[in-house]
Amino acid sequence: MSCFSCVCHRQKEAGRRFSDGMAPRSLSRLVDSLDLEKNAPTPARAKSCNAHSFTLRELAAATRNFKLSNLLGEGGFGRVFKGFLESGQVVAIKQLNQNGLQGSNEFLVEVLMLIMLHHPNLVSLYGYCAEGSERLLVYEYMPQGSLEDHLFDLPPNKEPLDWNTRIKIAVGAAKGLTYLHDVVHPPVIYRDLKSANILLDNDFNPKLSDFGLAKLGPVGDRTHVSTRVMGTYGYCAPDYAMSGKLTVKCDVYSFGVVLLELITGRRAYDFSKKAGEQSLISWAHPLLNDRRRFTQLADPLLRGRYPIRALYQLAVVTSTCLHEKPHLRPSMLDVVVALDLVASQPYILENNQRDGSGSGPISPYLSDNDQKDSSPPPAPPTWKAASAPATTNSDGLKGYNHLLANT
């Protein structure tokens, strides 16, 4: 196996390595547009950022000739197989559909992005194969599959995600996005955040995957990147869908949809639902903004096992992420701090609930008076960008998140 060098090589080197089956002019234009030598994400430059070039024969052997019993998933981009390398390492191998939605340019973007970016909440790329017309990517194997696998259409024998695990996943995914938006320079706009692209390890630590649609964000005086609209229906920010103007706030909106899925256990868009409930956002909107009915959002599979106040705070965070005006959505850095507050209030199973005698959700973070009081939490605060700037200092995040502490 040969080593694929990082972004410090010149355009002609990248063109040589990916020349099989790709038009050099198209590749050159893509590399020029990324401006990698000048604009490569800086945190990864100081690290070892090598990926191996596998042969098709090696990956066919790893998957037993792409046997269906090793199939992990399938989508418009192609198939993902579980594989075993000669070293014994277990990997996930994505075989791109030659006639699918992810073309050679998207393949190159994903390889370059994952080589340059390193974070505990981003999936690791081990290597690639660009042999003839074949395009394959080799990732670390995530044994628990995707978040989607644990939220929707669960078989009777599968245990649903509990409240604390859902919050853990939300916090980790938010930290991955914060790295892309606020640490990397220029920022990276993920553009395809959805529950199917959040993968989970054995301990349910989340990692973002599938960077084929990622774009470098605006720098300097530019406020957005103009591009053709791409993404997944139900997760795409309406402002981006209508204008084609891409900003990091588009990712914030998509993250709000994922939060809503975590809260409700419902898909972003579900044609099997009756009219009026097919769109998750349309169905949830009146509940998110009703302080007396927000508990109706909770996934029935939680069986009332969640802290009421933390659920309310999470509903507030979700509502702000889904704001129709992108400049009023919080930054992902704000969201992480807010979710850390939610995570600091885990659900603790009471003794009377362990023996089945409990009558409903009781939060250990409410006082006795709070638990007896049937009145709803205070009205959700209105987050305004002008009066609540998203900035940090030694005293902590001042702006959106201090309001949550008072709920």
Is residue 406 scored above 80 in pLDDT?
A: no
Residue 226: what are its φ and ψ, rounded to 5°?
Answer: -90, 125
Between the alpha carbon of residue 109 and those of residues 16, 38, 119, 202, 360, the distances in Å are: 16, 16, 18, 28, 49
Taking the C-alpha atoms of residue 397 and residue 393, their distance in angstroms, rounded to an integer, is 6
Q: Is the dihedral of CA 154, 158, 163, 166 positive or negative?
A: negative
Angle at the Cα of 282 from the Cα atoms of 281 and 285, rounded to 5 degrees: 75
Confidence class for position 204, pLDDT limits 50, 70, 90: very high
Please indicate whether the domains covering 2-140 and 147-404 agree at the CATH topology level. no
Q: Is 192 a catalytic residue?
A: yes
194 marked among binding-site residues = no
Is residue 20 scored above 50 in pLDDT?
A: no
Nearest to 260 by CA among 317, 204, 183: 317
pLDDT of residue 330: 97
Q: Where are the domains of the chain?
A: 2-140, 147-404
Per-residue 3-state assignment (H helix, E strand, C coil) for 33-59: HHCHHHHCCHHHHCCCCCEEECCHHHH
Residues of the chain above pLDDT 70, percent: 69
Taking the C-alpha atoms of residue 191 and residue 201, their distance in angstroms, rounded to an integer, is 23
Q: How do strand 245-246 and strand 215-216 relate by DSSP bridges? A: unpaired
Of the ranges 124-138, 158-172, 267-281, 368-382, the best mean pLDDT one = 158-172
Q: What number of other Cβ atoms are within 10 A of residue 133's Cβ?
A: 11
Nearest to 123 by CA among 131, 109, 113: 113
| CATH 3.40.50.620, applies to 147-404 | no
Per-residue 3-state assignment (H helix, E strand, C coil) for 171-228: HHHHHHHHHHHHHCCCCEECCCCCHHHEEECCCCCEEECCCCCCEECCCCCCCCEECC
Active-site position among 192, 210, 251, 299? 192
Is residue 245 scored above 60 in pLDDT?
A: yes
Of the ranges 36-50, 93-107, 262-276, the best mean pLDDT one = 262-276
Encoding tokens for residue 169? 């996943």
Between the alpha carbon of residue 21 and those of residues 17, 18, 304, the distances in Å are: 11, 8, 55
pTM: predicted TM-score of the whole model, two decimal places: 0.76
Beta partners for residue 207, in sequence order: 199
Topology of the domain covering 2-140: Phosphorylase Kinase; domain 1 (3.30.200)
Which carries the bigger pLDDT value, residue 306 or residue 406? 306
Please state the rounded mean pLDDT for residues 326-354. Answer: 89
